[in-house]
Amino acid sequence: MPLEKLYQFFSSLRLTVLLLVLGMVLVFLGTLAQVSLGLYRAQNEFFRSFFVYWGPPGASWRIPVFPGGYLLGALMLINLIAAHWRYFRADWRKSGIVLIHAGLVLLLLGQLATDLLSVESTLHLREGEAKNYSEVDRRVELAITEVTDPAYDQVVTIPQRVLERQGEVSVSQLPFTIRIRKFYPNAMVSARPADATEPAPADQGVGPQVVLTPLPHVTEMGKRDVPAAVVELVTPSGSLGRWLASEYISQPQRIATGGRVFTLAMRPQRLYKPWTIRLLDFRHDRYPGTDIPKNFSSRILLTDPRNGTEREVVIRMNSPLRYGGETYYQASYDPDDQGSVLQVVRNPSWLTPYIACSMITVGLLLQFTIHLFRFAGRIVRT
């Protein structure tokens, strides 16, 4: 019976041991890979994948060489559940073991949910500044803002994944269609030297005055890719030319057509919230006579017009603010100590590890207590 064989295979302890060892090797390889790939990409390639791929440097093909985190995690889950199904006996003495493994299942599922659902962004505030949005570090968006009426801005944003497809976007609010001609995942934009010979990346806005240098992905910790895009704006009556967008271009570029005025800018993707956070004061204490940071803290004012909330909160290391399903952590600060960077995490499944770990702890305690009592019972019998 092949089905029986399959069941036996998936419920066997041999598979458990194999998966645990493979898991360990994967974690080891993923850790080493962080040195060359950086934390973010190593995570994606090793842990948030079904297979780890490898190809010779420079080649376009890559073959799967090792199971990835998703595959191993899924197999572990199947193995765990199948083994318990196969060996389960209704016996209170085994309750600890069952609880430990149920906790493990929850932990694995919770981490999967975190992986899929959590969103991390940052909130950079200078002292006195207020914002009602945070920014996603690793994602950009192309913002086209209509500024015809100085009292009122209307913004259309095109997220990075749409830019990556290099297709065509048309929106009813805009009198032109946006053709994404080229998207660079990481590129440097610099002033055009007088003797430059290569063609300009774009013919409108700052395009003719700069050179664009595509770069490989950044791997260092604390640095990120800076994407760039070349877009062509097409009205029914003809093209408005090609424009270059990158975060290196600090001033929004102005586009005038048909009596309306727009600006075009690349910026980190924004996540708007119904509440506002104002930085009142940032403190950075050092130990006397040294540069060793003793603590940093941000005193902020949280205002939420929906329910009339207006409160002052101090966010410190190891003491975040939780509000509206988001958590705000003290992450970094400006070199002049006048500004603060808060990490914003929205993670609907943040409680699962707490529940899972409580289950496992209770399971372990139960298991040890049961052992102890059986053991003591044996001594009493003799």
Partner 1 sequence: MKTWFLRALPWALLAVFAADIVAILLPRPEGEFHLQAFGRLPVLANGRVQPFDSLGRNCLLQIRGTAAVPLEEKKSYEFWKHPPKLRATEWLLEVMTRPEVADARPIFLIHHPDLLEDLKLQGKGVEKSGLHYFAFNDLKPVLARIESEGRQAMSVESQARTAYQRQVAKLFNAVALYQRLKFTLQPEGTRDMTVELDELSKSVEPGLAALRARQAGREFDRAPLDRLVEFLRRYDTMAQLAYAWVVPPPSADAPREHWQNLGQVLFQAGMSGQAPPEPVRWLAEIASGYTLRDASRFNRAVHAYGEWLAAHAPAELRKGRAEFWYNQLQAFLHAMIIYLCAFLLASIAMLTVQAWPTGSESLRRSALYLAILALVVHTAGLAFRMWLERRPPVTNLYSSAVFVGWAVTLLGVGVERVYRMGLGVAASALVGFVTLLIAHNLALGGDTMEMMRAVLDNNFWLATHVITITLGYAAMFFAGFLGILYIGLGVFTSLLALKLHKEGEAPQPHPKPFGPDDIAAATLGKALAKMIYAVICFGTLFSFAGTVLGGIWADQSWGRFWGWDPKENGALMIVLWCAAILHARWGGLIRERGLANMAIFGNVITAFSWFGTNMLGIGLHSYGFMDAAFRWLLLFYATQLAVIGLGLLPLDKWRSFRKASVQQAGTGAYVAEPASGS
3 state SS of 281: strand
Instruction: Determine phi and psi for 30, rounding to 5 degrees.
Output: -65, -35
Among 329, 334, 341, 370, binds partner 1 (CB under 8 A): 329
- B/e letters for 353-382, b = 16+ CB within 10 Å, e = fewer, are eeebeebbeebeebbeebeeeeeeeeeeee
Q: Please tell me whether residue 8 binds partner 1 under the rule CB under 8 A.
A: no
Q: Please tell me whether residue 21 binds partner 1 under the rule CB under 8 A.
A: yes
What is the distance between the alpha carbons of residues 257 and 214, in angstroms, rounded to a whole number?
31
Question: Within 13 A of 88's CA, how many CA atoms are on the CB side?
Answer: 13
Q: Please tell me whether residue 293 binds partner 1 under the rule CB under 8 A.
A: yes
Q: Which of 206, 345 has the CB closer to partner 1? A: 345
Q: Please tell me whether residue 363 binds partner 1 under the rule CB under 8 A.
A: no
Draw the binding track, 98-127, toward partner 1 (x: CB under 8 A; -: no contact). Answer: -------------x--x---x-x-------
Instruction: Determine phi and psi for 205, rounding to 5 degrees.
Output: 55, -135
Q: Please tell me whether residue 24 binds partner 1 under the rule CB under 8 A.
A: yes
With CB under 8 A as the contact rule, which of the stretches 3-11, 138-146, 151-159, 324-332 interacts with partner 1?
A: 324-332
Q: Please tell me whether residue 223 binds partner 1 under the rule CB under 8 A.
A: no
Q: Which of the residues 33 through 92 are near partner 1 (CB under 8 A)? A: 34-35, 39, 42-43, 47
Residues 6+ apart with CB under 8 A from 109: 77, 352
Q: Please tell me whether residue 343 binds partner 1 under the rule CB under 8 A.
A: yes
Q: Which of the residues 146 through 205 are near partner 1 (CB under 8 A)? A: none
DSSP sequence for 262-294: EEEEEEEEEEEEEEEEEEEEEEEEE-TTS--EE
| Strand pairing category for 187-191 and 130-146 | unpaired
Smallest CA-to-CA distance from 366 within 64, 73, 99, 70 is with 99
Q: Please tell me whether residue 30 binds partner 1 under the rule CB under 8 A.
A: yes
Q: Are 47 and 30 in contact (CB under 8 A)?
A: yes
Q: Which two tokens stand for residue 313?
A: 């909160």
Q: How far is the CB of 371 from partner 1 (least distance, A)?
A: 10
Q: Please tell me whether residue 23 binds partner 1 under the rule CB under 8 A.
A: yes
Q: How far is the CB of 382 from partner 1 (least distance, A)?
A: 6
DSSP-based helix, strand, coil % in the chain, nearest 5: 35, 40, 25
H helical segments located in the chain: 2-10, 13-37, 39-42, 69-87, 95-117, 160-165, 352-381
Return contacts of 196-200, CB within 8 angstroms, 24+ apart.
none
Among 187, 345, 359, 366, binds partner 1 (CB under 8 A): 345
Tell me the residue length of the chain: 382
Q: Please tell me whether residue 288 binds partner 1 under the rule CB under 8 A.
A: yes
With CB under 8 A as the contact rule, which of the stretches 206-214, 227-235, 253-261, 357-365 interacts with partner 1?
A: 357-365
Among 150, 289, 308, 377, binds partner 1 (CB under 8 A): 289
Q: How far is the CB of 179 from partner 1 (least distance, A)?
A: 39
What is the distance between the alpha carbons of residues 200 and 207, in angstroms, rounded to a whole number?
6
Among 59, 63, 151, 221, binds partner 1 (CB under 8 A): 221
Q: Which of 107, 156 has the CB closer to partner 1? A: 107
Q: Are 146 and 154 in contact (CB under 8 A)?
A: yes
With CB under 8 A as the contact rule, which of the stretches 142-150, 239-247, 260-268, 292-300 interacts with partner 1?
A: 292-300
Among 161, 223, 306, 378, binds partner 1 (CB under 8 A): 378
Q: How far is the CB of 107 from partner 1 (least distance, A)?
A: 9
With CB under 8 A as the contact rule, which of the stretches 6-14, 57-65, 191-199, 207-215 interacts with partner 1?
A: 6-14
Smallest CA-to-CA distance from 31 within 50, 46, 14 is with 46
3 state SS of 305: coil
The footprint of partner 1 (CB under 8 A) covers: 12-14, 16-17, 20-21, 23-24, 27-28, 30-32, 34-35, 39, 42-43, 47, 111, 114, 118, 120, 221, 286-290, 292-296, 317-320, 327, 329, 331, 343, 345, 347, 350, 353-354, 357, 360-361, 364, 375, 378-379, 382
